[in-house]
Structure 1
């Protein structure tokens, strides 16, 4: 009986340990880890907004799931969203942010945060949205961002980040659908095949190598494309390859050459916004522009265009604004006594 009792005792001991491990995994201690992490984040941030949000609202003794900018899961009472955009926050991003393991949405955009992006962000494997735009963050873009396989939105525009984007920055981002970057250099192979299909791409003042990137041409689901001031030197026909789903096209301040394609309405049948100003586009406006029946706004100013505006553009029922020229509220066409000059109003 002594031997049997010892075996039973050992069995119960191991069983008790397993229960304790399971309980620990779902216990409030993990929630309190989130609270400690949030307080550490608070300690690295100075709230300069008039309402002093973090100082007055993020306080010990209150339920952190009710704090401003915090959303928790109902099942585990863990932080899933940290949304503090446009709060006038200053300071740095604490490394403890990486302990918010249930975090899916992190939006700290439009503040005055400085310092580098902490490496602990690489531990947030559940992240779906990451937006750090419009801050004063510095340093290089960390490679670990390419390992956040659940990421669908990545915003890093208007900051002091300085670095080069390689293929590794996107290695496992197969779910990425919205990418927004600025003032960065792309150094990827010409034949690079990205793992994602974007719906929205914003590249502002990025160095993409001059030619319109093949990896962008592979984005067959694009609805919004903005590549202003990226030194694009291709023709418009090549730039618009595979872009039939586009509703918004912004390619201002580049070096795009050649004429507007005669089949532009077939290439971009759903287009609402067309901004091609400050390029080197030449020739006359093709009648096919009149086939852009959903067009709302168009800017073709500061190019090398010549000739007349097609009369049929006056039949576009949704068109609200057009550059380069109007005449008495209507587009000037071949019936005008003198050719229309392509210049700013």
Structure 2
């Protein structure tokens, strides 16, 4: 199965603890060097500080020095590569630094960009778990983390985001199960859900096909098992469905 909108994955070993320590030393030095003359060019110091933290995090893992060279305080951070801002408040609304070798965990400080509505970190060689802190972004609509080496299960909080409309976690090493309806939690599934080429196990919860807004679903190339929920026949807006290369049984209603 080919998905032209997704990139190929990168495999690389995890960075050492010494690397992380050097990252934060570099961040401290950058913040100290930020003079008042350059700071006045930035309308929001919180977003600036967060972006500089991300810059320091990737220093040493950016062979082309793309981020290190482009993200400088000589210009507004709204003009930096991969950064988009709202017009009125000049807050960061989109961060897209895909296909930049980072070979680290997802920088946790991204969760401080409270106006972020789009986050794209595809094909970056990212490792480690999916940070639950991303689910605290109140305006996040589009989250794309495909083609990395991310592992662990999907945080339950990812399915409790009323703002999220598209979730792309394809081509990683994600394990665990999909959330199901129970007495304590009712999952909120996005309109577009792509988690193919991972290691998901368990069955497909019937609650997935009770989501009225679900339009596209790709769960192929996992280790899912059990019956295909008959509720799938009630999906009026579903236009794309991939369930192949699993251990599922049953039929899909026409």
TM over 0.5: yes
Q: 2:228 aligns with which of 208, 212, 237?
A: 212
User: 1:127, CA displacement in angstroms?
Assistant: 0.8
The answer to whether residue 239 in structure 2 is matched with residue 227 in structure 1 is: no
Rounded Cα–Cα distance in structure 2 between residues aligned with 1:170 and 1:107: 27
User: 1:195, CA displacement in angstroms?
Assistant: 2.7
Bigger-Rg structure (1/2) = 1
Rounded Cα–Cα distance in structure 2 between residues aligned with 1:214 and 1:46: 50
CA contact (8 A) 1:46 1:90 kept: no
The answer to whether residue 34 in structure 2 is matched with residue 31 in structure 1 is: no
- Out of 179-188 and 102-111, give the one that drifted further: 179-188
CA contact (8 A) 1:179 1:201 kept: yes
Rounded Cα–Cα distance in structure 1 between residues aligned with 2:131 and 2:149: 14
Distance 1:196 1:69, change over 3 A: farther
CA contact (8 A) 1:177 1:197 kept: yes
Higher relative contact order (CA 8 A, sep 6+): 2
3-state SS of the aligned residue for 2:168?
A: strand
User: 1:54, CA displacement in angstroms?
Assistant: 0.9
CA contact (8 A) 1:48 1:90 kept: yes
> What is the match of residue 203 of structure 1?
219
The alignment's TM-score, normalised by the length of structure 2, stands at 0.73
What RMSD, in angstroms, separates the aligned Cα atoms of the two structures? Answer: 2.5
Rounded Cα–Cα distance in structure 2 between residues aligned with 1:223 and 1:120: 31
Deviation string 1:301-325 (CA, Å, 9 cap, x unpaired) is xxxxxxxxxxxxxxxxxxxxxxxxx
Structure 1 unmatched runs, 5+ = 1-27, 243-345
User: 1:162, CA displacement in angstroms?
Assistant: 1.8
Distance 1:215 1:154, change over 3 A: farther
> What is the match of residue 179 of structure 1?
193
Structure 2 unmatched runs, 5+ = 1-40
CA contact (8 A) 2:124 2:148 kept: yes
Rounded Cα–Cα distance in structure 1 between residues aligned with 2:207 and 2:88: 45
> What is the match of residue 123 of structure 2?
110
Rounded Cα–Cα distance in structure 2 between residues aligned with 1:225 and 1:191: 16
Rounded Cα–Cα distance in structure 1 between residues aligned with 2:155 and 2:109: 17
User: 1:141, CA displacement in angstroms?
Assistant: 1.0
> What is the match of residue 123 of structure 1?
136
> What is the match of residue 159 of structure 1?
172
> What is the match of residue 42 of structure 1?
55
The alignment's TM-score, normalised by the length of structure 1, stands at 0.55
Distance 1:36 1:222, change over 3 A: same
Distance 1:48 1:170, change over 3 A: farther
Q: Structure 1 runs of 4+ off > 4 angstroms? A: 46-50, 186-193
Rounded Cα–Cα distance in structure 2 between residues aligned with 1:89 and 1:79: 21
CA contact (8 A) 1:207 1:231 kept: yes
User: 1:166, CA displacement in angstroms?
Assistant: 1.2
Distance 1:194 1:128, change over 3 A: same
